[in-house]
């Protein structure tokens, strides 16, 4: 068990990306969550050898980015309103890994997660978070940003609250609180997310939420179950000059 950190550390949860409009981003550390599935997919792809992820706003931006890359060196993946974009690889993690990402740039467009990531690019540091790498991200934030306010950003869905992202935020809050002890300065939203995490069992709770039910109806229950594997990949993924890459 690592020693606790003795510095006061503010931890706040934003329940959807639209809340960024009311928050000052510069100088803060942001952990972006889109548990089903954007950030989970990005973490999984990087852990399985993808060179980098280029999160873009929409299909047009993805295709434009692909024109600047060498044939065979990239994969276009993405969805809009839960439908895979035409000619793109499926955006869920296991499906994308089965498509193949080793050594390639993944140009990635989703309805919410990639949008959220691009919207907070002005932060001091932007991390790509998932249940898959929660512990690794928390350790990196505490080691590299001991005095910065941390915003855990739930991507949400079309200006709506998403249970799975709030659950994921609760996992991160729990980890921060364990490490910080009495130095953890948790907002009310952070405390609420932690309560949800403590009292909801995965994967059942995520399979029962709105997006989880949609995925299960599409035959993608295994993708939801995969997303619930806490600390499966101890990797740190961060946004750097518009690219999400592994951070050593």
> What are the tens digits of pLDDT across the range 10-50?
999 999 999 998 889 999 999 999 999 999 999 999 999 99
Burial of 37 (0-12, 13-18, 19+ CB in 10 A): buried
At residue 173, the pLDDT reads: 98
Q: What is the mean pLDDT of residues 166-174?
A: 98
pTM for the full predicted model: 0.94
Average pLDDT of the chain, as a whole number: 94
Tokens of 221: 């229950």
Element (H, E) at 94: helix 93-99
At residue 48, the pLDDT reads: 98
At residue 81, the pLDDT reads: 86
Tokens of 62: 């993805």
Task: Indicate the DSSP class of residue 139.
Answer: H
> What are the tens digits of pLDDT across the range 75-127?
999 999 889 999 999 999 999 999 999 999 999 999 899 999 999 999 999 99
Alpha helix stretches (DSSP H) within 108-162: 113-119, 134-144
Q: What is the mean pLDDT of residues 185-193?
A: 98
- Residue 207 pLDDT greater than 90, yes or no: yes
pLDDT band at 7 (very low <50, low <70, confident <90, very high): low
Contacts of 111 (CB under 8 A, 6+ apart): 79, 80, 81, 82, 157, 158
């Amino acid at each position: 068990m690592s020693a606790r950190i003795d510095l006061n550390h503010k931890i706040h949860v934003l329940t959807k990306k639209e809340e960024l409009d009311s928050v000052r981003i510069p100088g803060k550390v942001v952990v972006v969550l889109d548990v089903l599935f954007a950030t989970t997919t990005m973490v999984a792809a990087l852990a399985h050898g993808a060179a980098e992820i280029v999160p873009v706003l929409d299909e047009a931006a993805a295709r434009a980015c692909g024109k600047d890359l060498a044939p065979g060196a990239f994969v276009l993946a993405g969805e809009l309103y839960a439908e895979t974009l035409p000619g793109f690889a499926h955006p869920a993690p296991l499906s994308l890994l089965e498509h193949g990402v080793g050594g390639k740039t993944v140009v990635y467009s989703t309805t919410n997660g990639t949008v959220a990531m691009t919207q907070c690019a002005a932060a001091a540091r932007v991390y790509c978070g998932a249940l898959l790498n929660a512990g690794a991200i928390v350790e990196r934030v505490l080691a590299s940003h001991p005095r910065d306010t941390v915003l855990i950003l739930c991507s949400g869905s079309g200006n709506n609250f998403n249970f799975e992202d709030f659950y994921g935020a609760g996992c991160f809050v729990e980890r921060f609180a364990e490490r910080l002890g009495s130095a953890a300065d948790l907002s009310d939203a952070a405390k609420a997310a932690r309560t949800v995490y403590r009292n909801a069992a995965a994967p059942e709770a995520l399979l029962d939420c709105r997006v989880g039910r949609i995925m299960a109806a599409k035959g993608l229950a295994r993708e939801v179950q995969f997303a619930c594997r806490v600390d499966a990949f101890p990797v740190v993924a961060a946004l750097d000059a518009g690219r999400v890459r592994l951070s050593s």
